[in-house]
Amino acid sequence: MTVLEDLWYGNLHPVEEFLTDNKEYKGLLRIGAKNREKLENSLFPEQTELFEKYYTATNEMNSVSETAAFQYGFSLGVRLMIESVSIQLTNED
């Protein structure tokens, strides 16, 4: 199957796949989860609610940032390919 077919049929999941084998990321994720659990266990109910709001806002902010970075990177890659093909065509004349 081609990349375009995989994209069309929904077989591409870059968000789920790009860090699956990254040991550094997995280690940091474990540390973050462990520290979050310790922090949550030490908070009073009012503090827990405030922390959850902070955590949710941070996750949403990261999602927006990652989406924008992906869009920019994809667009840049396409522009580089277009320029590369244009240069080759120009040089062939």
- Where do the structural domains in the chain lie, given as residue ranges? 20-92
Give backbone dihedrals phi and psi of 19, rounded to 5 degrees, phi first.
Answer: -120, 10
CA distance 41 to 32: 14
pTM of whole model > 0.85? no
Q: What is the largest CA-CA distance in the chain?
A: 73
What is the full per-residue pLDDT of the chain (93 aa) written as tens digits?
898 899 889 998 877 777 778 899 899 999 999 999 999 999 999 999 999 999 999 999 999 999 999 899 999 999 999 998 888 666 665
- Between CA 67 and CA 53 the distance in angstroms is 21
Of the candidates 55, 17, 13, which has an alpha carbon nearest to the alpha carbon of residue 36? Answer: 55
Structure tokens at 43: 């908070």
Any idea of the CA torsion for 70, 16, 57, 42, to the nearest 10 degrees?
A: -140
